[in-house]
Structure 1
Amino acid sequence: MQTKVDVAVMIGSGVPPTLRAQGQKACWVVLLNGEQRGTAFSSRDEAEECKAAWQALLRQEQSDRLH
């Protein structure tokens, strides 16, 4: 099965209280097959870095299964 990795934006009440307390009105999260994995990020760039790390891990796991 192919795992889908996405970045989604959350706004308003979807932003965790700790980020709202810092004045954040939006945050970004990484989704694997539609389910949030890990923490909320204060920037899209951070979330994209996490997404890339998930994709690399999944590619490695798939490669390991093939060998």
Structure 2
Amino acid sequence: MNSQIDVAVMIGSGVPAALQARGLRVCWVVLVNGERRGTAFASRREALECQAAWQAQLGRTQAA
């Protein structure tokens, strides 16, 4: 099965309360086949690292 692994941005009220409490109004999440997996990340870099880990776990190379 070919899984789609994406990084998406959440803005405003979509940002979890814990991140909003830190003053963040944007966060990034990893989606596997359109479903959120794991936590919300405060930086895009962290989300991309998580995406790479999912790709490695599923035996895929990192997307360009």
1:18 maps to a residue whose letter is A
Q: What is the DSSP-based 3-state SS (H/G/I as helix, E as strand, rest coil) of the residue aligned with 2:38?
A: strand
After TM superposition, give the deviation of residue 53 of structure 1 in Å. Answer: 0.2
Counterpart residue type for residue 46 of structure 2: E
1:30 corresponding residue in structure 2: 30
Identity %: 67
Deviations 1:13-44 (A, max 9, x none): 10000000000000000000000000000000
The CA distance in 1 between the partners of 2:11 and 2:34, in whole Å, is 17
Q: Which residue of 1 aligns with 2:52?
A: 52
Q: CA RMSD in A?
A: 1.0
How many residues are paired up? 60
Q: Matched residue of 1:59: which SS?
A: coil
For the pair shown, the structure with the greater C-alpha radius of gyration is: 1
TM-score, normalisation: structure 2 = 0.91
Can you give the 5+ residue segments of structure 2 that lack an aligned partner in the other structure?
Answer: none
- Single out whichever of 51-60 and 24-33 deviates more from structure 2: 51-60
1:5 aligns with 2:5: yes
Distance in 2, matches of 1:44 and 1:35, equals 18
